[in-house]
Amino acid sequence: MALRHAVLAALLDEELSGYQVTKAFAAGVANFWHALPQQVYAELAKLEKEGLVAGREVVQEGRPNKRVFRVTGEGLAELESFASAAAKPSFLREDLLVQVQAADHLDAGVLIERLTERYAFAEAKAALFEEQLHRMRGGLDEADFLLRGASRVGPYLTCRRGRDFERANRDWCREVMEVLRARGAEGRGGA
């Protein structure tokens, strides 16, 4: 029951179509959630049936019509009740962690490949988030924006968490690679 709230939260600031929500959640841009189109459409259908969002047909020229959704009063109430219940903390759950856990029994070269890929991915994603943050805060410096900025700070803060998360991933990958390389050199007759 978390995707539904993520969808509601995404619709708070603007009316979006299912397709647009999907885009916002798509790999690379999602700062606070991730889901595939099928899940988003299914959830929107359920939310509409329950009256938490209201859909509206938008006729377009040159491309297919779409249905955009906005959050209703009931939807906002649902979000508030979600926020008043304790949030369950999530765990790190990443393939790469499992692979590094087994590092002492696996080939270091293969692992370093994985770490290199993840490093590049993290770097790229962090840069993307950084850009987004820059756009959001406009001309203002961060402290000013957060204290007195006119626009919504929620999305900014979650985006920051996303950026810092990927930076941490990147730094961890670098360090693990250093350790694996150093131990490899040591084992083959280094210092």
Partner DNA sequence: TCCTCATAGTCAAGAAAGTGACTAGTCAGT
Partner DNA sequence: ACTGACTAGTCACTTTCTTGACTATGAGGA
Nearer to DNA by Cβ, of 19 and 32: the residue is: 19
Closest CA to 158 of 37, 16, 22, 24: 24
Q: What is the CA radius of gyration of the chain?
A: 21
Single out the residue of 3, 54, 96, 177 in contact with DNA (rule: CB under 7 A): 3
Told to check if 77 binds DNA by CB under 7 A, we report no
Q: Which does 101 bind (CB under 5 to 8 A by kind): DNA, its own copies, none?
A: its own copies
* Helix or strand (DSSP H, E) at 171: helix 154-187
Q: Which does 53 bind (CB under 5 to 8 A by kind): DNA, its own copies, none?
A: none
Tokens of 145: 């924006």
Of 28, 178, 165, 191, nearest to 103 (Cα)?
Answer: 178
Please state, in angstroms and rounded to a whole number, the distance separating the CA atoms of residues 105 and 26: 35
Q: How far is the CB of 182 from DNA (least distance, A)?
A: 32
The distance of closest approach from Cβ of residue 99 to DNA in the complex, given in angstroms and rounded to an integer, is 15
Among candidates 35, 176, 15, which has minimal Cα distance to 99?
A: 176
Question: Least distance in Å: CB of 109 to DNA?
Answer: 26
Site size for DNA (CB under 7 A): 24
Binding site for DNA (CB under 7 A): 1-3, 17-20, 23, 34-39, 41, 45, 60, 62-67, 93
